[in-house]
Structure 1
Amino acid sequence: MALEKSLILLKPDAVQRRLCGEIITRLENKGLKLIAMKMLQVTKELAAQHYEEHVEKPFYPMLEEFITSGPVVAIVVEGPEAVSVVRGMMGKTNGRESAPGTIRGDFGLSRQVNLIHGSDGPEAALREIGIYFQAEEVLSYKSSLDEWVCASDEL
């Protein structure tokens, strides 16, 4: 099993609705380890860098307007298959279609105002982490809980 890192953005709606603590609690309760976190305002330049594959698409202006509309909380988590674990916890992009028990299923009603971003693959995670964090901001540490979260051959 691969120990992976994933970038998570708690988007402006999560911050404005004061859901950050609830979402972070879910990530930690799952057993994911937070290894970097900060609050920031996404600029148009940062948005274009993050969403570079979407910049020329017709929906990009609305995406940019939303992600730059207020502060976000950027987080790096680490854990076995962290990318797919986070994506499963997030639920479908559209909160109306997302299963109860997922973040978007429990707190979302929109496709565009959808609370959370998670990397869609390990390579994307590494690229995205590099956009939001300097190498020295991403910490590596042993947790005394690691052995109670996963068997040693899963870490």
Structure 2
Amino acid sequence: MGPTKVFRARHSDPESIRGAYGLTDTRNTTHGSDSPASASREIAFFFPEFDEQRWYEQDEPRLRRGQLFYSAEERVHRVAGRGDPA
């Protein structure tokens, strides 16, 4: 993502997301939580349908093993399940 401050990102890490696309410190194109607890709260707020526990127990281990595919129709990467391309 690059440094939190956009001005610093532009000069010290211009290839980072913030360095390349950030406008101001509050319009910096990306967000990173400051702790796992904050991340859990923020995920639940912005993505209420997301099951974080299921992710860590099922999806994340499969992702680490490389079992995912790109859905061109949805334009996202998905963890492969039964019947999906590997």
Q: TM-score, normalised by structure 2?
A: 0.49
Which structure has the larger Rg? 2
Greater percentage in helix: 1
Q: TM-score, normalised by structure 1?
A: 0.30
